[in-house]
Structure 1
Amino acid sequence: MKKLNIGLLGGTFDPPHFGHLYISTKAIKTIGLDCIWWVVAKQNPLKEQSNSMTSRVNFAKNISKFSSKIRIIDIEKTVKKSYSYNTVVLLKQKFPHINFIWIMGSDNLISLHKWYRWKEFCRAVPIAIFERGKLYKEIKYPFVSCFSSFYVRQPKLLLSCTPSWSIIRMKVNPMSSSMIRLLTY
């Protein structure tokens, strides 16, 4: 039986927007994924959320209707603390027949070393990093120096090895949840 290749786009999705949809469709095409699961965080330990998890899940479901290859999961509602490491471990235990790949914007490299058990997280799942803005600044952060030997040039290679990471260059979509909150609240 062929394993499914599923991208995990984790985040608070506060609010979800078409930038999330853009990066998801780009990941499916570039990496060769079967689909993307949006993992709506219960509570990002490094941010405050404006909306409840239920409303963020509902907003995400509305945006995801534009692609049949995006599924919204709220697995984090069952955990005490919302940590990406715990979520990945739980998903890998629950779905051993799936190859998971973490999808994130390059802006996350700035704080990745502050994530709970970040080194274990980076060893547990391949990571596809999508360019968001001036990437050269993010290259200086601890993740890159710690995991430089696991870099793969071709994103499709993420499907075959862990740990691994790749940077996917693309036309930058300036949309962000932070920007939307500033404009609407």
Structure 2
Amino acid sequence: MRLDAAGLARLPPAAPGLRIGLYGGSFNPAHLGHRHVSLVALKRLALDRVWWMITPGNPLKDRSALAPLDRRMEIADGIANHPRIAITDFETRIGARYTRQSLDYLRARHPQVRFVWIMGADSLAAFHRWRDFRAIAAMMPIAIIDRPGFTLTSPNARGAQAMARWRIDESDAGILADLEPPAWVFLHGPRSTLSSTALRAGR
């Protein structure tokens, strides 16, 4: 594992008070849809940075088609191509298997950073299957970015219903990072049809 002199995983630069969006996934491969989500989040949520957390693998997905981490990092870096988007593989370096472990680590390292968890509406549809999803919702605000085919279905999924009382209007998205969790917002707008699965299939 690549650690610093104190035995801690290296993370992108952060400072107290920064508003940082966390966008996790296998990025297998990264594509312009990921960049679109990040730019929407930066603008609509008034974030200072977005970190792409390149995971070692999704426990809910088949890993047989997963490209090597270094290759996924390289492609992601080229696709992001933005001074306010950083790429990190710290989850592999700390041995995290689940999102809650990663978020616990980040909050302990940077307790004064205002983190927001970002995910697509397709992920919200399966959020109830994530380990400790209720605990994740209680750890930091969540922003859902609309995806084609999930505009109407994902807000009615089990995970969304469990959090329904804490949903804020998207007109208030700019203050999400300042709210105590649980708090979440569903952001509508232009949607990207790109997907890593389709790209791997050559579609």
Shift of 1:48: 2.6
Shift of 1:108: 0.7
Q: Which whole-Å deviations, capped at 9, do the CAs of 1:95-151 have from their partners, x for residues lacking one?
A: 112110011110112211111111101110111001102311112211122111111
Amino acid at match of 2:197: S
Rounded Cα–Cα distance in structure 2 between residues aligned with 1:48 and 1:76? 18
Which deviates the most, 101-110 or 79-88? 79-88
One of 95, 105, 124 as aligned partner of 2:139: 124
Rounded Cα–Cα distance in structure 2 between residues aligned with 1:25 and 1:148? 26
1:155 aligns with 2:160: no
Contact 1:43 1:81 in 2 (8 A): no
Give the ranges of 4+ consecutive aligned residues of structure 1 lying more than 6 Å apart after TM superposition: none
Which deviates the most, 127-136 or 32-41? 127-136
Partner of 1:48: 62
Q: CA RMSD in A?
A: 1.5
Rounded Cα–Cα distance in structure 2 between residues aligned with 1:126 and 1:79? 23
1:20 aligns with 2:39: no
Inter-CA distance 93–2: structure 2 relative to 1 (3 Å threshold): closer
Unaligned runs of 5+ in 2: 1-14
Partner of 1:145: 161
Aligned length: 183
Rounded Cα–Cα distance in structure 2 between residues aligned with 1:2 and 1:96? 8
Amino acid at match of 1:26: V
Rounded Cα–Cα distance in structure 2 between residues aligned with 1:38 and 1:58? 12
One of 62, 66, 77 as aligned partner of 2:78: 62
Shift of 1:157: 2.5
Unaligned runs of 5+ in 1: none
Contact 1:151 1:164 in 2 (8 A): yes
Partner of 1:106: 121
Q: Which whole-Å deviations, capped at 9, do the CAs of 1:69-110 have from their partners, x for residues lacking one?
A: 100011111233421111111011111121100111101122
Partner of 1:171: 190
Rounded Cα–Cα distance in structure 2 between residues aligned with 1:35 and 1:12? 19
Contact 2:96 2:102 in 1 (8 A): no
Rounded Cα–Cα distance in structure 1 between residues aligned with 2:199 and 2:97? 23
Partner of 2:101: 86
Amino acid at match of 2:198: M
Rounded Cα–Cα distance in structure 2 between residues aligned with 1:52 and 1:122? 30
Rounded Cα–Cα distance in structure 2 between residues aligned with 1:2 and 1:73? 19
SS of the equivalent of 2:29 reads coil
Normalising by structure 1, what TM-score? 0.94
Rounded Cα–Cα distance in structure 1 between residues aligned with 2:41 and 2:146? 12
Shift of 1:33: 0.2
